Amino acid sequence: EVQLVESGGGLVQPGRSLKLSCAASGFTFSNYYMAWVRQAPKKGLEWVATISTSGSRTYYPDSVKGRFTISRDNAKSSLYLQMNSLKSEDTATYYCARQQGPGYPYFDYWGQGVMVTVSS
C-alpha cells in the first residue's frame, strides 16, 4: 500500500524558514517523480514543486521560485521542502504527492497533509 506521511509543519513567523518532510513507503520511491501541492484554508489546490527521480531536475511556479527548495533522499525514501522567507500567503496545508513522471503529469497518491501557518 502506497503511503506518504508528511511532517514538520507548524506556526512560523513571516520571513522565517521551515522544512517539511515526507516519508514514503509501499512503492519504489526512486522510480517516481515527487511533488508538493498546497491548499490555503478554504481554497483550491496549488502546485508548489516537483523533483525528478534522481533529484537532478526541479521545477517551481513563480510564486515560490527562489524561496522554496525541493529535495529528496532516495536511500531514505524521503522527500523534503525547504521553505525560506515565508509569507502570510504561504499559509496552507502542504501535501506530498507522487507524480507518475514527465509523460504522466498528474498526482496519483497524496499524503494526509501538514499545516503551515505563517503569522506573527
Partner 1 sequence: EIVLTQSPTTTAASPGEKVTITCLASSSVSNMYWYQQKSGASPKLLIYSTSSLASGVPDRFSGSGSGTSYSLTINTMEAEDAATYYCQQWSSNPPTFGSGTKLEIK
Please report, as ranges, the residues that interact with partner 1 according to CB under 8 A: 37, 44-47, 59, 61-62, 95, 104-113
Q: Which is nearer to partner 1, 47 or 117 (CB)?
A: 47
Q: Which is nearer to partner 1, 15 or 106 (CB)?
A: 106
CB of 119 to partner 1, least distance (A): 22
Q: Which is nearer to partner 1, 66 or 120 (CB)?
A: 66
CB of 3 to partner 1, least distance (A): 12
The DSSP output letter for 27 is S
Q: Are strands 78-83 and 18-25 parallel, antiparallel or unpaired?
A: antiparallel
- By three-state DSSP, how is residue 104 classified? strand
Q: In what order do the strands lie in the sheet with 3-7?
A: 3-7, 18-25, 78-83, 68-73
CB of 19 to partner 1, least distance (A): 20
Q: Look at the alpha carbons of 26, 40, 101, 29 in this order and tell me if their dihedral is positive or negative.
A: negative
77 φ, ψ (degrees, to nearest 5): 50, 50
Q: Which is nearer to partner 1, 83 or 114 (CB)?
A: 114
CB of 7 to partner 1, least distance (A): 15
